[in-house]
C-alpha cells in the first residue's frame, strides 16, 4: 500500500477527498451546480479546512504520473515532443501513442492535448471556489486568510500562463458561476496576460516572504507552498514573454537579490528537495517508489526499472549535439540506459526513478537559474551588454564553462537561447515556449520535422468536445485544425 508522506501529511485523507468532492472533477463546461453555500461554509469555517482546500490542489498536481493524465505537469513531455527535445519511441507491438502524436505534430481536436485544457480548467474552478470562500469567510485567522488568498491568486495566474501559451486566447472564468462560464468566449491573449499580471501582482503583495508549512502560518524549510518570491519569479517570466523588459529585469532582480533564501547550487544539488535554488517545488504524496518525482518515474531508466519501464521517449540527437564541449550538464543531467530492449539517452536531472529508496528529490517547478537567464535576456534587449554577460556567466560557470564571448545584442540573444536550451531541457515546456515566443519555431522545428510541421502547429487545438458544449466557442478553433 502506498503511504502518504511529506509536507502535506498534516492534511487528513478526509480533508483531501472533501476538497475533491466539493470542487468537482467535472469538465469546465456544461456542469451542474457543483458547490452549495453550505459546503463552502463548511470548508472555510476554520483555518484547517480552508488550508486543506489549497493543499488539495497541490496534491492533485503531484498525485498523478506526469503523463498522460495530469494536465499542466504533462507540458514537460508534450512540449519536449512538440519541439526538438524529445523523440517518441514506438511501443513494442505497434500502436500509436500520445507521445507519437505530439512528436509528429499531428494533434487533432479529438486526439492529443485534451487533458491540458480540461484538467487545468477543473483546477481553475477549484481556485475560483477557494477565492470566493476565502472572501466570504469572516472567521479565518487574518494571516491565514491572506496567505491562502495569495496562494489561490498565484495558482490562477500559473494555470492561465500555461493555457495561453498552449492554446492562445482562451475563455477566462474568474468565478464559479457555471451558467456564465458555460458561455464564455475566448479572451484575447493580451487580456489573458493582463489578468495573469494582476493575479500575480496581488499574490506578491499577499504571500509570505518566508516559506510556510501545512498550516499556512508556521515557517518551514519546505519550499512547497508558494512564497512571495514564487509570484515575483513567475511575474518576471510573464513580463519577459510580454516583452516588458524593464519589469522582467526588476522582478528577476528581486528574487536574485534575496541572497538569504536563494543561490545557485551545484548541478548535483539543483533538483534535491529544499535546496537553495528551489523557488517552488512539489513534494511527494506517497513514500517509496511511488514517492519519487513524477519526472523521475517517467524519464529515469534505473537498475530496478530498465527491464520493464522507461518512458516511450528519448532525448533527441539535436539536443544531445547542442552541448558545448566540457559542458557538465551533458555529463550530469543526461543518462543512458537500456529500457524495453533499447539503449536510450534520457533526462537524468532527477536520479531516482520508480525506485523504493528514500525520497531526496522534489519536483521542481520554478528555480533560480531561470531568473538569471530572464534577467540576461531583459538586459540584452535593453542593450545592457556587460550586465547581460554577467548573468549568462553565472549559469555557464556552474556548468564548468568559460565566460560568454557574446558582446552585442544579437550574439547575446543567441547565447541566451543556447543556455536556455541546455539548462532547461525537459522542464515545463520552456524550449517549446522559447521557440514560439522568439519566432524560431518554423525555422528550427520545420527543418527537423519536414512534412509534419506547419506554422499553425504552434498552438494546440481546442478539444472538440469543449467547442460542442460551448456555443461561444463554435467557429473559434485555432487555425490549421
The per-residue pLDDT for range 355-388, each reduced to its tens digit, is 889 999 999 999 999 999 999 999 999 999 999 9
Preceding omega of 68 cis (within 30 degrees of 0): yes
pLDDT band, residue 450 (cuts 50/70/90): confident
* pLDDT (0 to 100) of residue 414: 98
Q: Is 327 left (phi over 0), alpha (psi -120 to 50) or beta?
A: beta
* Greater model confidence, 95 or 398: 398
What are the extents of the domains in the chain? 17-80+109-217+457-481, 288-361
Mean pLDDT of 90-103: 81
The total of other beta-carbon atoms located within 10 Å of residue 182's CB is 17
- Digit-coded pLDDT (tens) for 192-206: 999 999 999 999 999
Instruction: State yes or no: pLDDT of 14 exceeds 80.
Output: no
Instruction: State yes or no: pLDDT of 470 exceeds 80.
Output: yes
Question: Dihedrals φ, ψ of 342, to 5°?
Answer: -125, 135
- Digit-coded pLDDT (tens) for 391-439: 999 999 999 999 999 999 999 999 999 999 999 999 999 999 999 999 9
Mean pLDDT of 8-35: 35
* pLDDT (0 to 100) of residue 6: 41
Q: What is the DSSP string of 121-133?
A: HHHHHHHHHHHHH
- Cell 554577460: give the residue: 389
**What is the β-pairing status of strands 278-282 and 363-367?**
antiparallel
Instruction: State yes or no: pLDDT of 20 exceeds 50.
Output: no
Helix, strand or coil, per DSSP, at residue 220: coil
- Digit-coded pLDDT (tens) for 122-134: 999 999 999 999 9
CB 67 within 8 A of CB 77: yes
* pLDDT (0 to 100) of residue 36: 39
- Digit-coded pLDDT (tens) for 280-312: 999 988 888 888 998 998 899 987 665 455 678
* pLDDT (0 to 100) of residue 323: 98
* pLDDT (0 to 100) of residue 10: 33
Measure the CA angle with vertex 31, ends 25 and 35; round to 5°. 70
CB 447 within 8 A of CB 453: no
Helix (H) or strand (E) holding 87: strand 86-88
pLDDT band, residue 354 (cuts 50/70/90): confident
What the block records as the C-alpha cell of 284 is 511527494
Pick from 13-27, 52-66, 319-333, 453-467: least confident? 13-27
Q: What is the DSSP string of 349-387?
A: SS---S--S---B-EEEEEHHHHHHHHHHHHHHTT-HHH
Cα separation, 329 vs 326, in Å, equals: 9
CB 372 within 8 A of CB 253: no
Cα separation, 157 vs 388, in Å, equals: 28
Which sign does the torsion angle of CA 30, 457, 411, 85 carry? positive
Cα separation, 312 vs 91, in Å, equals: 7
CB 195 within 8 A of CB 170: no
Instruction: State yes or no: pLDDT of 479 exceeds 80.
Output: yes
Q: What's the whole-model pTM score?
A: 0.91
| Burial class of 168 by CB neighbour count within 10 A (0 to 12, 13 to 18, 19+) | middle
Domain 17-80+109-217+457-481 in CATH 1.25.40.890 = yes
Question: Dihedrals φ, ψ of 14, to 5°?
Answer: -65, -35
- Digit-coded pLDDT (tens) for 239-289: 999 999 999 999 999 999 999 999 999 999 999 999 999 999 999 888 888
What the block records as the C-alpha cell of 170 is 482562451
Cα separation, 15 vs 55, in Å, equals: 9
- Which of the 8 DSSP states describes residue 66? T
What the block records as the C-alpha cell of 409 is 545584442
Extended beta strands in 283-333, E state: 313-315
Cα separation, 146 vs 206, in Å, equals: 6
* pLDDT (0 to 100) of residue 309: 55
Cα separation, 261 vs 208, in Å, equals: 13
Cα separation, 228 vs 201, in Å, equals: 10
- The proportion of the chain whose per-residue pLDDT surpasses 70, expressed as a percent, equals 88
What is the chain's mean pLDDT, rounded?
89
Q: Of 105, 166, 102, nearest to 480 (Cα)?
A: 105
Q: What is the DSSP string of 394-438?
A: HHHHHTT-PPP---SHHHHHHHHHHHHHHHSTTSTTHHHHHHHHT
Q: Of 262, 309, 258, nearest to 281 (Cα)?
A: 262
Helix (H) or strand (E) holding 101: helix 98-103
Cα separation, 469 vs 278, in Å, equals: 40
Amino acid at each position: 500500500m502506498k503511504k502518504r508522506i511529506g509536507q502535506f501529511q498534516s492534511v487528513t485523507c478526509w480533508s483531501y477527498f472533501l476538497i475533491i468532492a466539493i470542487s468537482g472533477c467535472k469538465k469546465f463546461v456544461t456542469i451542474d451546480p457543483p458547490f452549495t453555500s453550505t459546503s463552502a461554509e463548511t470548508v472555510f469555517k476554520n483555518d484547517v479546512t480552508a488550508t486543506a482546500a489549497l493543499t488539495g490542489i497541490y496534491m492533485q498536481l503531484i498525485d498523478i504520473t506526469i503523463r498522460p493524465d495530469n494536465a499542466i505537469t504533462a507540458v514537460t513531455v508534450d512540449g519536449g515532443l512538440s519541439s526538438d527535445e524529445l523523440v517518441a519511441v514506438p511501443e513494442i507491438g505497434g500502436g500509436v501513442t500520445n507521445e507519437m502524436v505530439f512528436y509528429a505534430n499531428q494533434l487533432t481536436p479529438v486526439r492529443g492535448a485534451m487533458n491540458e485544457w480540461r484538467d487545468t480548467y477543473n483546477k481553475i474552478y477549484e481556485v475560483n471556489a477557494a477565492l470566493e470562500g476565502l472572501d466570504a469567510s469572516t472567521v479565518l485567522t487574518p494571516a491565514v486568510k491572506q496567505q491562502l488568498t495569495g496562494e489561490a491568486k498565484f495558482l490562477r495566474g500559473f494555470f492561465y500562463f500555461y493555457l495561453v501559451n498552449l492554446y492562445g486566447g482562451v475563455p477566462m472564468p474568474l468565478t464559479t458561476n457555471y451558467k456564465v462560464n458555460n458561455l464564455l468566449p475566448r479572451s484575447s491573449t493580451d487580456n489573458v496576460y493582463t489578468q495573469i499580471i494582476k493575479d500575480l501582482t496581488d499574490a506578491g503583495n499577499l504571500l509570505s516572504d518566508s516559506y510556510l508549512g501545512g498550516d499556512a502560518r508556521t515557517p518551514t524549510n519546505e519550499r512547497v507552498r508558494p512564497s512571495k518570491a514564487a509570484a515575483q519569479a513567475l511575474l518576471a517570466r510573464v513580463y519577459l514573454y510580454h516583452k516588458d523588459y524593464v519589469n522582467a529585469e526588476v522582478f528577476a532582480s528581486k528574487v536574485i537579490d534575496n541572497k538569504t533564501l536563494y543561490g545557485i547550487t551545484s548541478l548535483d544539488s539543483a533538483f534535491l528537495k529544499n535546496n537553495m535554488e528551489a523557488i517552488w517545488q512539489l513534494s511527494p504524496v506517497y513514500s517509496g517508489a511511488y514517492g519519487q518525482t513524477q519526472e523521475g518515474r517517467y524519464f529515469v531508466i534505473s537498475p530496478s526499472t530498465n527491464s520493464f519501464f522507461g518512458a516511450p521517449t528519448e532525448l533527441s540527437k539535436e539536443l544531445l549535439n547542442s552541448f558545448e564541449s566540457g559542458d557538465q550538464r551533458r555529463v550530469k543531467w543526461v543518462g543512458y540506459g537500456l529500457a524495453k530492449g533499447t539503449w536510450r539517452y534520457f533526462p537524468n536531472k532527477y536520479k531516482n526513478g520508480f525506485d523504493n529508496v528514500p525520497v531526496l528529490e522534489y519536483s521542481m517547478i520554478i528555480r533560480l537559474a531561470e531568473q538569471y537567464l530572464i534577467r540576461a535576456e531583459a538586459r540584452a534587449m535593453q542593450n545592457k551588454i556587460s550586465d547581460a554577460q554577467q548573468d549568462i556567466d553565472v549559469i555557464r560557470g556552474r556548468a564548468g564553462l568559460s565566460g560568454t564571448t557574446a558582446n552585442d545584442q544579437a550574439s547575446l540573444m543567441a547565447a541566451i537561447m543556447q543556455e536556455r536550451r541546455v539548462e532547461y531541457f525537459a522542464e515545463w515546456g520552456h524550449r517549446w515556449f522559447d521557440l514560439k515566443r522568439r519566432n524560431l519555431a518554423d525555422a528550427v522545428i520545420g527543418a527537423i520535422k519536414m512534412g509534419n510541421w506547419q506554422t499553425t502547429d504552434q498552438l494546440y487545438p481546442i478539444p472538440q468536445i469543449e467547442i460542442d458544449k460551448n456555443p461561444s466557442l463554435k467557429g473559434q478553433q485555432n487555425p490549421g485544425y
